[in-house]
Structure formats: structure tokens, C-alpha cells
Structure 1
């Protein structure tokens, strides 16, 4: 069973237009009319940085009218070292909107390396969340054979589904989906026997189509050491999409993306590799590490972690997406760095990356979160500590940051907010790595409508 710390009585949401008939909103368009975000919960990591400190959940004030705007106002350290917090999700979301007894209260934090899954109470004091309980990784492994938990989503039943990328020894053959009950007790594997994915990673379910799709990364025993091309050649990375029946848990289709689809973390518009010099390969592939779609289905966004750009596409005609915005906010090809892009004529070039509030942008854009109204896009720049150290070693000494991008929701277009910069390089216990972000009231990457 989950290990308890303390339990605090539930507190009502109190937000106008939200949670009157259950958590979240009746429709995505209703969510777009929800209140402006005032807080963001941000995963902050010390694991892998060389600092013997626990990872923590940071609360960031994003209310422009607040005296503490654009700063970390609370830090909740985990009780153990070496977790590598990574993604996050809610115990309940808009999939439970019609259930008045459901409550978006607990933020679920899987630990990529240790295997613990934390439940964080955000209701008693949204500005200062507290630890409710955690699920022990030994119990997960003993009951299900699963380890390396990654992505979590709430179900309309009140249960919680977590993708796991391997077994306790780091073998991809142990990947699958962990099902927890509403109080974070282990139930079982979700998928039917014999229907586990070849490689695990992210997933999303759509009840209206009775379908769930999961993507691929690789074997934990390979990627947890850093990226090695030999591991790709040896078959330790995936190139498939897994199509499941929902909620049946049967794999109905396995889509092979081939060599050009290796490591399909997020499957979106293809990005052409760029010819480069002074890098490990003659071409630098696009590595899309996060994407999202606005709640009105008009705009599609993704980040390109290695190249360093964030893009916006108009997808009102889904078969013919139109690039409407692109900005460079880091990456390996920015001016001043050793790596240069090579033109067809042999000339070289690099991209201009602006400073914000006198601070240089480091690393590459990695995770993004869009405001409910679609007008503000937040971005962090840490992927995974081992890979950060390999590709962007300056993050170990300087830490991560969060930037805000203003979005033109009429014609399309992106521009950096020059007044917003949250510097995790100045944290009290030393520079930290910032990863996924969540709003207390939900967002387009946490909420599923049924």
C-alpha cells in the first residue's frame, strides 16, 4: 500500500466557473474562459547534478499583480535523495467533471529513477503544497514487475494510470502501465497479459474513439547512462507507436516509424536534420521533446530541444498545417557556441538567441505549458539530468530557467516576454533543473474530456 505522511481535510476550490460539478470544465472551450493562471507547480531536480539534495516541487508566482511575481514562493523537498522527478499529473481532472464527489486535489509525481510515486496535496494551501503519501517502488515491482514510472493521467473512474518504462533491472521488456486506485494503492497492470508495449514513454487516451496511443523511448539501462549511438544500433531504443483499445487494454496495432522515427518521444510534424560542423554527427536531428494543442484546436506548438526553437502551427486544416510562429530560445546552434549549421554552399551560420532581463538563455527549450486562453506559453529547458549533462553541461553549473512567450491568437505568432524570467540557477541550495509545469486548475496537457 502507499506510505502515508499526513492527511489534511479537503478544501473547496472556490474558483469561479471551475469544479462546480466536479473537477475541471465541461468542455475545452469552457476551459478557455477559465481564470488566468496565478501559480505554476514546477518539477525541480537535483538528482544527477552532483548536489546531494532532494528533488522538490517549486511553486512559482505568475500573477503580474503580485508582489512576488516571477519568483519561486515555495519549495517542497521530497523525503529521499536520487528520485529524478520528471513528469506530473492530477488525481482527477475534467474527465471527472460530471462527478461532484471528485476533487482535483493531488498532484501525482512519478520518480523516473527511484521509482517512487508521490501524491502532493495542493488544496489545503495551493501556494505551499504538502506531501500526502508515496507509493513504494519495491511494492510496485513485487506486484506488477514495473519500474521507471514516467507519465501519469487520471481516469474518469477516479483511478490513476502511470506508464512505466521497464522492470527494476532496466529492461524494456518489463514496460507497461500501472493502475492505482483513487487513494494511490496498487491495483494491477492496466494492459492485458501479452499486450505490453515494446518500449514505454508517454501516452494519451481518447474515450470518444475508444483508443489509447503510447509512444516509445528506450530501455532504461541504456538511456539512464546517457545517449550512445551504439545503443541505438543494438536495438535499445524504440521506433513504434502502440495503439490500444480503450479501456480494454488490448494492443490493436503496432506502427513502425522506421529509422527516421527512432525515439518518437512526441509524434508531430517532421523536422529536417540540419547539416552541422563541430558536433558528434555531420547532421543534427530535430529532437521534439514536447508538444501541445490549444484548447480550441487552432494552434499546435512544439519544442526542438537540440536545434533550440519553439514553433507554432495553425492546424485549422489538420492536413495542411501552416507555420505561423518560430522563435529561437536556446539550443546548440545559437551564436557564440562551437556548433555551426552548414548551408548548401558550404557557408556556416548560427541563430540569434536574445537575453531576458540581462540573462543568457541556456540549454534548449524542453517542456511547454499553454495558458487556458492560449495567450501565454511557458517553457523550461531541462530534459533529463544525464542527458542535460551530456548535451548542455552548463546547466549543471547554471541551472534551468522558465521563460514566457506571448502568443498572437488571432493571426498567429510568438514573441518573448522581456519581463518574465524565473532563474533556477539562483535557488537557495544551488542551481536546479526545471522540468514539467502544471497549473492548479488543470491545463491542455493534463485534462481529458470524455
Structure 2
């Protein structure tokens, strides 16, 4: 049976609307918007740091409303080891390989942020029950490249896989760089040229038509892995830069210092249209969306496009609370930008048809430290104490704050998890978050006028998992999505 499913999936992956064999994904972002509705979501689930001595796992969630197992975890693939901290993921092939009829989007790449293992997961033999294909061991990575703490994985049109790494095996930021795996998942070496590694690393996105890759900077693994300490920012253990590389040859061409308006720049996205020369990065601690863009002389510049005002609060560790922008994405038509404020608890939708002038068109509160019933309150200019109304979903109080998000291809459904990183979850949301586990929400999107509303029909509760409450982080669709596919 698995063999028949595999053949069918490979055929689907290669078939275009015209019946001509193509590679994975879609010819353009607008073609992708017309793709099939998502039926499954793969989500990384973490036990590391929760007190449960079990391996992290990849969960398969049914999001097909016509299915009898809708809104349920239908499969769990535990990793072979304890203590990985699965985090982000990517594909062996995506729309960057669309012109290669021999390429298939088959393997999901799962870097482990703390153990430095990289797992390769086969999703084609049985899409509902993925299986472990290969483990790339941290000793092999360290020996051949000196790299550790792998984070973002993107496929390349060449068939190679590129993974940003945040430091060396001792947690020093200066040891970071970009790992290359070949199509058989063997370690090839580093991508960037010798001597072209920045001080910090995190996320990256490439735009081949403009021969550019831009990466961001979180912090030293030795610092962030133990929780967040504001003093570490002053001590220079966290980043505030964007790094501009030549693509595909890996020469560091320019460093953009974002200053105090761009502390902890995390997720990095170009517009999907490969002809465009602009994109955004979310600066978590400064709570700003920074727009970067190419100038007339061919260099790159930046500006604050959206600013989230910190709120005056009581009963918290600081007198002001930043929104803490931890994830964002852009719809495939480049019309809307969505981001989360993990501490404040809201999800926002902006119209970016003019990328230099985003317009807020949707906002919804789905958790956060300032929801009604919390000990923390925010204080208005008139001195009045307030909290935000957060809906219950299927009788469940929403835990933590919105964190990772994923958008349906047609842009009408936004899914959100609530775990950032186990040590930070515990620090900012306490044992209640860790002991009760994560959830997935669906937020319905008005794609005409703008607007967000919590869907009452989907609530995936990872507090009810068989091995105990788990922390759910990043989500992927089997057919690709707007945060993993790059067009060339």
C-alpha cells in the first residue's frame, strides 16, 4: 500500500496543470495561490525543557474539515534521541526547483537547535505517517565545518540544502555560518566564502534574480539557550544587524546596522515576486518591522516600516512590555503581511501593496500576558488599568501568546502555535504554559478588505498528548507554503 501511495505522490508532485512534467511546487507565487487546500500540517513538537524525558517529535495534524479526524493529531514520529529541541524545518526541494523534472519535494529537513542533529524525514511513502530517513550527526557537521546550532533550512535550485547555524559547538556566536548538505544529505561544507561569516546568525532568504541573500542575527547560543537576560543585550551577546551576501557565491558584501530600532532581528522574508528588491525582518526586542530595500546605486538600505509601541504595565519584570515580534509572513500575492506580538498577545494584518507604507487592516488577540484573568495589567495614558479580551476556543482558555504562524496558499486561513523556545516559554509564561502544553488555532482572514477572526471549529490541544503536554512550534504543509518556497 505504501508503495502505491508513494508512486501517486511522486506523480502529483511532478504534474503541472497542463500535464507536463515539472519539478516540485509552482511556476509562480500566484500559481501557488490556486493550489489545493491544505489537508495536513506537520508541526515540530518539543519535550526538551518540559521535564518530560521523551524525544521531541513531528506531529501530523488533520486540518481537513470533511475528515472524521479533523483538528486531531493523527500521527507522531518521535526522534531517536532526547534533548534535541526541534525548531524550524525546510524541504529538500521547493519551487526553486520547479524547472527540474527530476526533483521531488519528498524530504522534510528538521534541524535540532540544541543537539545540532539534522533529521531527514520521508513524507512521500505515507504523507499521514512520515518516517525517519536519515540522521546527520552533529560530530560530522562540527568536524567538517565547525558549525553547530542549526536553525533555518532552505533548498537550493542546485539540489543542495543550506542551513543557517548560529554558532560553534561551544555556543560562541562567532562560530556561526551556513551549512551545505548535498542531495543525499551528506555534509559538503560551508556555503559562505572563508572569512565571510558574520558575528551572529539566524534566518535567511535569497533572491537569485538580484544575486542577493540576506540573513539576520539572533544571539549567541550560550546566551539564549539558558533564557533571556536583558544584560546580555548590553554585553553584546545579541544581534542587531542584517548581512547582505552575493548569491550564490557567498561573499559578504554589506552589513546593515539596525541600531536600537532593530534589536534581535529574527525572521527574514523578501517579497515572493522574484523580481522585487524589497523585504522585511521582524526585530523582536525593538518590536519593529524593518523594511530592507535595494537603492539606485545597488547597495541595500533599511527603514522602520511598522512600530509596535511598548505598553506601560504593572506586576511584570519591567515597567514597559515590548510586543516581542517573533514571527511574520507575507501572503503569496505580496498583498498582506502578518505578524505576532508574543508577549502582548495579538496577531496583526497589514496591507503592504505599498511596502513603504503598511496599513493595519486586521488585529485579533489570542493570548498574551495582558489577557483578562492575568496578573499583569497595562496602564493607559489616563492611568487606568486594562486587559485585553481573549476568546475561549471550544471552552479552552488560550495559553501563552501567538508565536509561529502559517498561511494557507489562498491566504484565507492563518494557523498559529504558541511556543517560542522551551527555556523562554518557561521564563515568560511560567510552568503553567509548559505543564499544560501548546495548541494550534485557526484564524480566518478577510482577503478582500482585511480582517481577522478566530475560527471556533479548530483547536488542537497538545496538552492532551499521550506522552504528556508538548510544546508545538513551526508548521509545514506537505505541498509547501509561503515561508518555505522561494521562486527564481
TM-score w.r.t. structure 2 length? 0.89
Deviation (angstroms), 1:17: 4.4
1:178-198 deviation line (CA, Å, top 9, x unaligned): 011011100111011111121
Q: Does 1:214 align with 2:252?
A: no
**What is the match of residue 389 of structure 1?**
426
Structure 1 residue corresponding to 2:321, chosen from 284, 288, 303: 284
Q: How does 1:17-166 map to 2 (within 5 A)?
A: 17=16, 20-166=21-167
Q: Does the residue aligned with 1:141 lie in a helix, a strand or coil?
A: helix
Q: Does the residue aligned with 2:102 lie in a helix, a strand or coil?
A: coil
Q: Does the residue aligned with 2:353 lie in a helix, a strand or coil?
A: coil
**What is the match of residue 454 of structure 2?**
416
Q: How does 1:213-252 map to 2 (within 5 A)?
A: 213-252=214-253
Distance 2:361 2:478 in 1: 29
**What is the match of residue 184 of structure 1?**
185
Q: Does the residue aligned with 1:265 lie in a helix, a strand or coil?
A: strand
Distance 1:420 1:20 in 2: 36
Q: Does the residue aligned with 2:265 lie in a helix, a strand or coil?
A: coil
Q: Does 1:306 align with 2:307?
A: no
Maintained 8 Å contact 1:275/1:342: yes
Maintained 8 Å contact 1:13/1:123: no
Cα gap change, 1:361 to 1:20, in 2 (>3 Å): farther
**What is the match of residue 477 of structure 2?**
439
Q: Does the residue aligned with 1:418 lie in a helix, a strand or coil?
A: strand
Distance 1:109 1:283 in 2: 36
Deviation (angstroms), 1:34: 0.5
Cα gap change, 1:130 to 1:275, in 2 (>3 Å): same
Aligned length, in residue pairs: 443
Structure 2 residue corresponding to 1:430, chosen from 460, 468, 472: 468
Q: Does the residue aligned with 2:388 lie in a helix, a strand or coil?
A: coil
Maintained 8 Å contact 2:6/2:126: no
Deviation (angstroms), 1:270: 2.4
Maintained 8 Å contact 1:370/1:376: yes
**What is the match of residue 403 of structure 2?**
366
Deviation (angstroms), 1:14: 2.5
Distance 1:211 1:106 in 2: 26
1:5-64 deviation line (CA, Å, top 9, x unaligned): xxx976514267479401000000000111000000000000010000000000000000
Maintained 8 Å contact 2:88/2:111: yes
Maintained 8 Å contact 1:148/1:168: yes
Q: Does the residue aligned with 1:54 lie in a helix, a strand or coil?
A: coil
CA RMSD of aligned residues (A): 1.3
Maintained 8 Å contact 2:16/2:22: no
Maintained 8 Å contact 1:43/1:437: yes
Maintained 8 Å contact 2:120/2:135: yes
**Alignment gaps of 5+ in structure 1:** 1-7
Structure 2 residue corresponding to 1:271, chosen from 299, 308, 311: 308
Distance 1:284 1:158 in 2: 44
TM-score w.r.t. structure 1 length? 0.97
1:245-301 deviation line (CA, Å, top 9, x unaligned): 111111111111112321111322322211111111111112111111101111110
Q: Does 1:338 align with 2:375?
A: yes
Distance 2:384 2:257 in 1: 36
**What is the match of residue 315 of structure 1?**
352
Distance 1:13 1:276 in 2: 56
Distance 2:460 2:263 in 1: 33
Cα gap change, 1:301 to 1:13, in 2 (>3 Å): farther
**What is the match of residue 170 of structure 1?**
171
Distance 1:129 1:153 in 2: 20
Select between 268-277 and 361-370 the one with higher mean Cα deviation. Answer: 268-277
Q: Does the residue aligned with 1:326 lie in a helix, a strand or coil?
A: strand
**What is the match of residue 12 of structure 2?**
14
Maintained 8 Å contact 2:23/2:98: yes
Q: Does the residue aligned with 1:14 lie in a helix, a strand or coil?
A: helix
Distance 1:72 1:65 in 2: 15
Q: Does 1:295 align with 2:293?
A: no
Maintained 8 Å contact 1:302/1:311: yes
Q: How does 1:397-408 map to 2 (within 5 A)?
A: 397-408=435-446
**What is the match of residue 5 of structure 1?**
none
Q: Does 1:353 align with 2:351?
A: no
Distance 2:55 2:340 in 1: 28
Distance 2:150 2:357 in 1: 35
**What is the match of residue 275 of structure 2?**
none
Q: Does the residue aligned with 2:307 lie in a helix, a strand or coil?
A: coil
1:373-432 deviation line (CA, Å, top 9, x unaligned): 000000000000000010112221100000000000111100000111000000000000
